[in-house]
Structure 1
Amino acid sequence: MKPTGKEVAPEDRAFGQHVQRLRKQRGLTQQQLAVLVQRTASWMSQVERGVQPVERFDVLQELADALGVSVQQLRPGAPLPSDSQPKTPPFEKANDLDEARRLISGHPAVGTLLGAMRSRPTRSLTELVREVDDVWTLTHDGRFAEVSAKLTDLLPDLEQTVRLAEAGERDTAHLLLARTYQALAAAFVRQDEADAAWVAADRAIWAAEKSNDPLHVCAGVFRMVQAFVRLKRLGQAEHAAQTSIDALTTLDRNEELSVEGMSVLGSLHLALALTYARGQQRAEARAQIDKARSLADRLGGDRNDFDLEFGRTNVAIQAVSTAVDLGDAGEALDLGSEIDASSLSPERQGRLLMDLGRAHAQRRHTGEALNCLLRAEELVPETIRTHVAARKAIRELVLIEGAGALPELMALAERADALE
């Protein structure tokens, strides 16, 4: 039987010491190993001290892979996965954006280019503006199944419109197409479909360039950076963000950057902060947060230029997320207690609650963590049930509580499919 309270079980202490030896043999720091297994340095420290038991086979497998050993070398006597169950599922899990993913897997413009489609779009530009605004409303609300359903007809119509519109309407049509692909990229990122987000962001950048709106190009780069981060291509994320930041900063120094441009620049600093935080580059991440905060102070109130929701509140939310990624749970909770996000979208409010839940989970505050995650689920159920960070936090809470896990926690874990 496991000891209760803060007493460390001898077998957990021995396992932690074994992990520490293997880590040092590979020349890794705790932070570096934590990044490899997509967890925090705090979690890794707790494992090595025996405070955090590691009992699930999937977590053992992640650690073993990162340390370059087999699961049996990591934990002698660990059961092998059942031969009757495939190691990888034969099909990808369905999610709310499956139809949208299928849609962009082909190119909606092919029929128009080959003359096989109708000669005129079914919607006017005025109608398309309304439809694209609706797509962004659904995206900010986290209603991704509705985003997918809406785009089934809308996206092909937009692709057709940009190729058939009169010269005077072509820039507007391309801008609408860019905004639609940006929304789709944002939705894909939030459901951890990062490869599809990359495709959508790339198309958004192309359409924005055709619209002759360079700030929308940079907004598309912001979406691409988020996709790169989720794909763990941190070098590419840094390069993409920094290239746009450098260009916009030059305009700012020359006093040629508009208010809208400051929103884009600030958002790119936040994206770069996320990139550095995921790479456990603490000083660099905090420096980017500071630069974003300075721009937000210059802007004053919260804004929503290019659907980026940039402003002081969003910077504060990102500071909480950065602290959690860096394993600074106490700082995240202190920062979060001062934030009133009620003026922002349900997605942003849900993200703050999710990150506070993650911070409480790092502190092993199960009740507080569960409360935050359930409140986030009320706001953006699709995000909480599909976001990899939320699902990992839920899984860790179940692991911490073991047989004593509350029914509400187990129900949430079931809804989020977090027990696999």
Structure 2
Amino acid sequence: MQAALTDYRIRCSDRPVGIEHLDERLRKAWRIRHSSPDHRSQLGALLPGLIRDAQTAARTAEDRRAASRTLAGVYQLADFYVAYQPAPELVWMVADRAVNEGYEADDPYVIACSAWAMVQALRDSGRWEEAIALARNAIEQLTPYLDRAETPDDWHGIVGALGFEIAYVQGRRGRSSDAWRVLEQADLVAQKLGPTYRHVQTSFSQPVMAAHATTLGVELRQPGEALRAARSIDADHIVSVPRRGRHLIEVARAYMQRDEDTAALTMLVKSEQTAPETIRYNGFARDMLRDLLKKPPTGMRDDVRELSRRVGIRG
């Protein structure tokens, strides 16, 4: 994967790459990402070739804007893979390239989708003001299109997803009222889009808005709010398997904040059963398991050790 990202300047291929074929490969890769418990392993096999071919198309295709649009989409998908690698520079590289290709495509929707990944990189590095400013700017660029009947639902979906990112940043900052206010605005977007809508890249949808509320409650150390949100949906309604696994980890975090360790362990077990490659790379889950290894729930020491072993933690 890293080689595919870093050798693009010196590689040259005379082999023509069809944009439509690339787009179909990208759609297939997104389906794998959302439906497979071993999504990381499968993406790790698919992405290097997809990146190289999309880069070639962006340099050689007659329709450079369409090729840039596709390459941006490939980088948006790659962002999910590099996010948990022990090489944070790849996160910045992929996010930056996605934004640049969005501008090359001159497509405000693609730019907004690419900005979504960059907002997360800024947030996780503590650059909160920049993260909020970028998310707001991306939303502003789309706003003139939102009242048009022909505007696709996905343009509304990415606006809602960016809205949650702003709420999440405010949650990280401890600004409770601002966080819940922006979350409510994003939830209105989800309600308007309807119960069957789902944004493929961000998973933005009505069920995921409840999962977002769970996360926000945890970040604000309001576990009661987090668990109320979690109980408002059936986790199985979260279509994306890795996103469902991550939600169960967030529920476990809420239980840990209430010192309900048995319930937290139950959620971690369910998360591992749902998407083992998600919990294996999730820092919050690994921290919780280390804590549970030190002080396991009564009668569950072996359960904690076994789950930790499967996740890759020695205790």
Name the TM-score, length of structure 2 as normaliser. 0.89
Cα contact 1:266–1:310 (8 A) shared by 2: yes
For residue 110 of structure 1, report the CA deviation from its aligned partner. 2.8
For residue 254 of structure 1, report the CA deviation from its aligned partner. 8.2
For residue 308 of structure 1, report the CA deviation from its aligned partner. 2.2
Q: Indicate the residue corresponding to 1:120 in structure 2.
A: 15
For residue 331 of structure 1, report the CA deviation from its aligned partner. 1.6
For residue 108 of structure 1, report the CA deviation from its aligned partner. 1.4
Q: Indicate the residue corresponding to 1:55 in structure 2.
A: none
Structure with greater contact order relative to length (CA < 8 Å, sep ≥ 6): 2
Computed over aligned residues only, the root mean square deviation of the Cα atoms, in angstroms, reads 2.5
Taking the aligned partners of 1:350 and 1:403, their CA distance within structure 2 comes to 25
Larger radius of gyration: 1
Cα contact 2:4–2:49 (8 A) shared by 1: no
Taking the aligned partners of 2:64 and 2:198, their CA distance within structure 1 comes to 25
Cα deviation digits, residues 303-361 of structure 1 (max 9, x gap):
23352222211111100011011111122112111212434110221121111111112
Where does 1:3-402 land on structure 2 (aligned, <5 Å)? 100-104=1-5, 106-112=6-12, 118-121=13-16, 123-140=17-34, 141=36, 143-166=39-62, 169-190=63-84, 194-249=88-143, 251-252=145-146, 258-305=152-199, 307-343=201-237, 344-401=239-296
Structure with bigger helix share is 2
Q: Secondary structure at the match of 2:214?
A: helix
Question: Are the structure 2 counterparts of residues 192 and 134 from structure 1 closer, same or farther at C-alpha, using a change threshold of 3 Å?
Answer: farther
Segments of structure 2 that go 5 or more residues without pairing to the other structure are none
Taking the aligned partners of 1:290 and 1:324, their CA distance within structure 2 comes to 17
Amino acid at match of 1:311: S
Question: Are the structure 2 counterparts of residues 417 and 346 from structure 1 closer, same or farther at C-alpha, using a change threshold of 3 Å?
Answer: same
Amino acid at match of 2:223: A
Question: Are the structure 2 counterparts of residues 158 and 138 from structure 1 closer, same or farther at C-alpha, using a change threshold of 3 Å?
Answer: same
Between the two proteins, the alignment pairs up a number of residues equal to 312
For residue 103 of structure 1, report the CA deviation from its aligned partner. 2.9
For residue 259 of structure 1, report the CA deviation from its aligned partner. 2.6
Taking the aligned partners of 2:197 and 2:7, their CA distance within structure 1 comes to 34
Amino acid at match of 1:361: M
Q: Secondary structure at the match of 2:296?
A: helix
Cα contact 2:76–2:114 (8 A) shared by 1: yes
Amino acid at match of 1:173: A
Cα contact 1:301–1:312 (8 A) shared by 2: yes
Taking the aligned partners of 1:238 and 1:130, their CA distance within structure 2 comes to 33
Taking the aligned partners of 2:132 and 2:150, their CA distance within structure 1 comes to 24
Segments of structure 1 that go 5 or more residues without pairing to the other structure are 1-99, 113-117
Cα deviation digits, residues 172-196 of structure 1 (max 9, x gap):
3222211110011122225575432
Cα contact 2:276–2:311 (8 A) shared by 1: no
* Percent of aligned pairs sharing the same letter: 27
For residue 129 of structure 1, report the CA deviation from its aligned partner. 1.9
